[in-house]
Amino acid sequence: MGTFSLAPDRLAWCAELRELAGRRLAPLAEQGEPGRVNRPLIAELGQLGLLERLFTSGALDLCLMRESLARVCTEAETALALQGLGAHPVHAYGTKEQRERWLPEVGAGRAVAAFALSEPGAGSDAAALALRADGDGGAGRGWRLTGEKCWISNAPEADCYTVFARTDPDPAAGARGVTAFLVPADRPGLSGDHLDMLSPHPIGSLAFDGVPVGPADVLGEVGGGFRVAMNTLNLFRPSVGAFAVGMAQAALDATLAHTAQREAFGGPLKDLQAVAHQVADMALRVESARLMVYAAAAAYDEGAEGVPRRAAMAKLLATETAQQVVDTAVQLHGARALQRGHLLEHLYREVRAPRIYEGATEVQRAVIARELYKTEASR
């Protein structure tokens, strides 16, 4: 398979995913409550074997899953992605005991995982984390987590959290003072609340009141949490772009059907040059974003150089593109697209958040520039 083309078996798999999403996942999504974890939907993703693939597939297959599901059922796409984001650090950095305890449960859809990085004062600036991990009575005995996490997907309903906390209180330690912990939801002192957000997937806050964690809960190494977070985001950022591409393609498909059928000014909308040119531009943007997402994912899988830059570029281009394409689709549909329950009304609410989470657009630009100058300095 070349970097910019998909083999027939992968294309067939994508078509199969779209069919499954429409037949088995969308009905469960419709029965869910917006802003709450949809456990029947997650269980069905597990039954279909898609959650297990999160831990056996590469970045490109993750992108193909997310794009394919997003074209048909964004709720299923997001449920899948959040399981992967929350549990990938366990898969990549967990101990044998941690992996055996949680990965089968997450993969089967019986346990819900969450990635707890953001805080009220540390969103895109992940190195500024303030959640404290205070030593609990001597070396080797563990820590007590005290502080707050905010904007955490699947909180407060998840069964386990990948939590990033500051084990070195020295401000000069910066990112080197952060450690990743695997924290079960039933730990004493851990509580949370739902947040009422524009996007329909579950998001909440978490409060840590002296939550006990020990050496057995560490993911990776003490002081190595920032690496765990960044490596996870390097994998998932292109797939956020794939989610955006899936939504943009759904908006383009709807626009093609609408403008071919809708009569105005004596003929179908598609015969108006102003409309046709906008549709052409939508298609150009979607395909450009798709190719960059695939290229970034292929680079990750191949272990190529420049993965952080490529991942940031893919996420930035695809999410900004999706916003533009969905907005144009709404404009070409007119008032009907703003009616509650319309596909584009749904996409219009969904498409905004990816430009912020897992590193806002502005952060992606900073990453790209930093990596470019780093490369230049090494020549």
CA distance to 75, 103, 315, per residue, from 78 (Å): 5, 18, 16
DSSP for 27-70, written as a single string: HHHHHSPTTS--HHHHHHHHHTTHHHHTTTS-HHHHHHHHHHHH
Q: Given the residues 67, 77, 105, 358, select the one marked as catalytic.
A: 358
Residue type, 328: T
Backbone angles phi, psi at 134, to 5 degrees: -85, 135
Partnered with residue 206 across adjacent β-strands are 149, 192
Q: Kind and range of the H or E element at 372?
A: helix 361-377
Residues 6 or more apart whose Cβ sits within 8 Å of residue 2? none
CB-based contact 14:68 (threshold 8 Å): yes
Residues 6 or more apart whose Cβ sits within 8 Å of residue 274? none
Establish whether 345 is a catalytic residue: no
Query: Quick check: bond before 156 cis, omega within 30?
Result: yes
CB-based contact 294:61 (threshold 8 Å): no
Backbone angles phi, psi at 202, to 5 degrees: -70, 130
CA 282 to chain centre: 23
Measured distance CA(98)–CA(239) in Å, rounded: 25
Strands (E), the chain: 113-116, 132-135, 143-153, 160-166, 178-184, 190-194, 203-213, 218-219, 263-264, 267-268
Look-up of token digits 């490596």:
231
| Burial classification of residue 277, based on how many CB atoms lie within 10 Å of its CB (0-12 exposed, 13-18 middle, 19 or more buried) | exposed
Measured distance CA(86)–CA(175) in Å, rounded: 20
Catalytic positions: 358
